[in-house]
């Protein structure tokens, strides 16, 4: 039986922790006021981020999170996002994966949707 991936979600603005493993930003837009050096990322995986249209529609409205998740799952089946998601799956097999987002409520973000998918 396959072992479940260790995937966590954190804010990109928070200081890195020893157990973060691979730190991957999954937002389409670079976080405001953050330098690349300070972010301490292993990579920026824009290809897995929700489309601009979906992101704007959602606008981080908690009442829309369930519908956002449903629509985002559909987007993740498209070519570029599905390739990026497969890449994240590979990263998660090797070590802990920390998905980073700039949103103030990471539990209501694309990073949380991705983490649930990756955990299986």
Q: For residue 30, what are the domain limits?
A: 7-119
pLDDT beyond 50 at 1: no
2 located within any domain: no
Residue 59 falls in which region: left (phi positive, over 0), alpha (psi -120 to 50) or beta: left
Is 50 strand, coil or helix?
A: coil
The model's pLDDT over 15-63, given as tens digits with 9 standing for 90+, comes to: 999 999 999 999 999 999 999 899 999 999 999 999 999 999 999 999 9
94 located within any domain: yes
Mean pLDDT of the chain: 95
Q: Count structural domains, the chain.
A: 1
Sheet holding 97-101, edge to edge: 7-11, 97-101, 22-25, 43-44
Percent of the chain with pLDDT over 90: 92
1 located within any domain: no
What pTM, to 2 d.p., does this model score?
A: 0.94
pLDDT beyond 90 at 5: no
């Amino acid at each position: 039986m396959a072992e479940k991936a260790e995937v966590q979600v954190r804010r990109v603005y928070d200081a890195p922790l020893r157990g973060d493993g691979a730190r991957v930003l999954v937002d389409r837009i670079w976080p405001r006021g953050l330098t690349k050096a300070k972010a301490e990322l292993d990579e920026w995986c824009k290809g897995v981020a929700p489309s601009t249209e979906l992101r704007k529609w959602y606008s981080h409205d908690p009442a829309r999170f369930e519908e956002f998740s449903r629509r985002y799952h559909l987007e993740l089946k498209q070519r570029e996002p599905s390739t990026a998601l497969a890449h994240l799956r590979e990263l998660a097999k090797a070590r802990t994966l920390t998905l980073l987002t700039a949103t103030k409520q990471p539990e209501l973000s694309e990073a949380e949707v991705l983490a649930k998918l990756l955990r299986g």
